[in-house]
Amino acid sequence: MALIVQKFGGTSVGSPERIEQVAEKVARFRAAGDDIVVVVSAMSGETNRLLGLAKQVCTRPSLREMDVMIATGEQVTIALLAIALNKIGVPAVSFTGAQVPIVTDSEHGKARILSIDETKVTAQLKAGKVVIVAGFQGVDEQGNITTLGRGGSDTTAVALAAALKADECQIYTDVDGVYTTDPRVVSRAQRLERITFEEMLEMASLGSKILQLRSVEFAGKYNVPLRVLHSFQEGSGTLITTDDNEDNMEQPIISGIAFNRDEAKLTIRGVPDTPGVAFKILGPISAANIDIDMIVQNVAQDNTTDFTFTVNNVDYDKALDVLQATAKEIGAGEVSGTTSIAKVSIVGVGMRSHPGVASSMFEALAKENINIQMISTSEIRVSVVIDEKYVELAVRALHTAFGLDAPEK
């Protein structure tokens, strides 16, 4: 008998009919003898509806009161799912985040979990009940309702699984697992049976939207096996776990290819090559609360340097203004930029033991006459910046070059 934490998102519980379908799925696991804790989001569209109501009353509402209001979305879902389970003869009980309690800090709208008291949940499991917990919410030490922000329900599920020492945390979504790349771009993309936490962290940070980065970080930190599954299709999904499968001789070098079109590139030329110049350029960018991704610095023979870096598309205009002001301040040359770029990355723990992966990537792109503008690497990743119009061609070429294409039917 296993203890499983299952998380269902807003689409999965988006109507009474879907909630009844989820109840039937949970009932099948319970009938197999497993102890089940279910974490649910608000019904799809409900959080946006509540936010809209608040905006009608006040353009800048109190964050504390927003948390009080938004938390009601999940409260509706947990009660409906408990009712649906009890109706089909499966004893179930619901808890809000505060009732568990899931204790957080006091950062309304983006609270972080400090501790979980699993006593009540464990008692109800021992009594033979399915326990349903509201995702995305908690309570601070002063008793105020808090919400966890983006990806909060995934984080709730993983945190509960860690606290309860669950055998597995299952995240149910509208896809049937993690793929080698986006199947909408590469029709022969394959579903991965398993992927490591490290690889999934890289994929999530590079644009893969299957799981929120925060929940993967949490699962890796507390070594909680994660499984991504489709809400309404049967299948084994993708298991995300530690890199303990050393005996798998057939494991490919590259597990996946991620890409992100939301990138912009900025260049400042003719910068005096003096100590501290990087800080003089990037310090004001950081002070403007802009995240920098890739950085390249080239030094010329006349003791000046050209400095290029990438930021998210939404920060491009602000970064350009800051950089132009910096250029005047330090006596640099021209400032230029573009939003017509994309980042393509190959990810795989197999890189650690296989030299020449980067050169294979560059060769595959060269064969398609795709120019590489910037390069960055980590132990298990190689990323390149290319012209945005070539991104899909690049992804398909790399997917084939690294043997990730599914066999033709």
What 377-381 contacts at long range (C-beta under 8 Å, 24+ apart), as own/partner pairs, is: 378/202, 379/351, 379/352, 380/198, 380/199, 380/202, 380/347, 380/348, 380/349, 380/351, 380/352, 381/202, 381/206, 381/345, 381/346, 381/347, 381/351
The whole-number average pLDDT for the span 260-281 is: 92
158-199 pLDDT, tens digit per residue, is: 999 999 999 999 999 888 899 999 888 999 999 999 999 999
Give domain status of residue 267, yes or no: yes
List the single range of 84-93, 115-124, 132-141, 233-242 with lowest mean pLDDT: 233-242
Could you tell me if 155 and 33 lie in one domain? Answer: yes
Q: Is this prediction's pTM over 0.85?
A: no
CA distance 241 to 248: 14
pLDDT over threshold 60, residue 245: no
- Find the domain containing 88 and state its range: 3-173
DSSP annotation of 167: S
Could you tell me if 16 and 161 lie in one domain? Answer: yes
The whole-number average pLDDT for the span 272-297 is: 91
Q: How many CB atoms lie within 10 A of CB 33?
A: 8
In order of 6, 144, 178, the CA distances from 228 in angstroms are: 10, 32, 7
Structural tokens at position 216: 């993967």
Give domain status of residue 144, yes or no: yes
Q: How many CB atoms lie within 10 A of CB 236?
A: 12
pLDDT of residue 246: 52
pLDDT of residue 251: 61
DSSP annotation of 233: S
Could you tell me if 168 and 35 lie in one domain? Answer: yes
Could you tell me if 152 and 280 lie in one domain? Answer: no
Q: How many CB atoms lie within 10 A of CB 32?
A: 11
**Strand pairing report for 92-95 and 130-134:** parallel
List strands edge to edge, sheet with 381-387: 292-299, 304-312, 256-272, 335-347, 381-387, 374-378
Structural domain ending residue among the three candidates 156, 173, 190: 173
Which residues are CB-contacts of 341 (< 8 A; sequence separation ≥ 6)? 263, 264, 265, 310, 373, 385, 386, 387, 388
> How many structural domains comprise the chain?
2
